[in-house]
A and B are shown apart, each in its own frame.
Chain A
Amino acid sequence: MPENKFKPGDRVRVLKAYPPGHIRTPYYIRGCVGEIERVCGAFPNPEELALMRTGLPAQPLYRVRFSQKDVWPDYGGSAADVVEVEIFQHWLDPA
């Protein structure tokens, strides 16, 4: 099983990639920088599961917190507002 590369508080950038297939990284969050909120554990890779493969080894999954102002430059609410998204390790780079 791949080791956890990140811990809570680490700054990470979501890959800005658009591969085909069943991807659980929402479009709107690709390329954004956020902070690891928690390590959720390791789960079978959904991109592999969608191809009827085992999805193993399980991949570390993180909960990443993003400032809404970073995600949507014209965000209308408070500057403190955040959105949290679950993202697999292979979609994250250190930022």
Chain B
Amino acid sequence: MSDEQGKYRPLSYFQLMEISLRELLVEKGVLTNEQVDAEVEDMRRRTPERGARVVAHAWVDSDFRKRLLENGTKACEELGLDVPALRLVVVENTPEVHNAIVCTLCSCYPRMLLGIPPDWYKSRNYRSRMVREPRKVLAEFGLNIPEKAQIRVHDSSADMRYMVLPMRPAGTDGWTEERLASLVNRDSMIGVAIPKGPAD
């Protein structure tokens, strides 16, 4: 097998395992190659732009924002975003409360809205330290939360999935939803960053 630079590399243990398992499942008629391809394609289509759309809509429509905080899954369906088998809890940042998401047990993540989690989200370092010393970890991400604001860390330990609704940056009055969505990045919906406005 070749790597990205076209250099030959032997298959790793897990690559070999994946190919063997996939071929067996197809051979035994449990799955078809088309189904596997369709699932991979679907995974690729899930990107943080989906989450950003939800955030921008909540910024411009306060009724939607309310519904989103009450029942994240249902509110996303309104935007045509299907989040099956995902109980989405949206937590809102305010000047008094900063939210951040972690899964200390594994790497639970709102993939339907944010896509594939970044490697650091799955690292032991982030998973163990985010609940133990969140202010230090956030500072390492370049985010210094004032001492008077409360930090609320959400450990996705079971069936819920979490997304942070960041605060709308100043200086964005009258912006379209599309333009607002362009300010919202993945990290700000995990709670390790805040969206930057024109004044920042």
Contact = CB atoms under 8 A, between A and B. Distances in A.
B157 A83 contact: no
Nearest to A65: B152
Interface string A25-57: 110110000000000110100100000000000
A43 to B, nearest CB: 5
Interface of B is mostly: mixed
Interface residues on A, range: 20 to 34
Interface stretch (B30-38, B58-66, B130-138): B130-138
A15 interface: no
A23 B121 CA distance: 21
A81 B157 contact: no
B83 interface: no
Interface in B115-151: 131-136, 147-151
A80 B153 CA distance: 12
B134 A26 contact: no
B3 interface: no
Given A46-B158, A61-B158, A78-B147, A84 B152 contact: yes
Interface residues of B, number: 24
Given A26-B104, A41-B87, A86 B156 contact: yes
B155 interface: yes
A40 B159 contact: yes
A77 B151 contact: yes
Interface of B: 87, 89, 104-105, 131-136, 147-160
Q: Which 6 A-B pairs have the closest CB atoms?
A: A86-B158, A80-B150, A77-B135, A81-B151, A83-B153, A85-B155
26 contacts: A25-B157, A26-B104, A26-B105, A26-B157, A29-B155, A41-B87, A43-B158, A46-B158, A61-B159, A63-B160, A75-B133, A76-B133, A77-B134, A77-B147, A78-B149, A78-B151, A82-B152, A83-B154, A84-B152, A85-B157, A86-B156, A86-B157, A86-B160, A87-B157, A87-B158, A88-B158
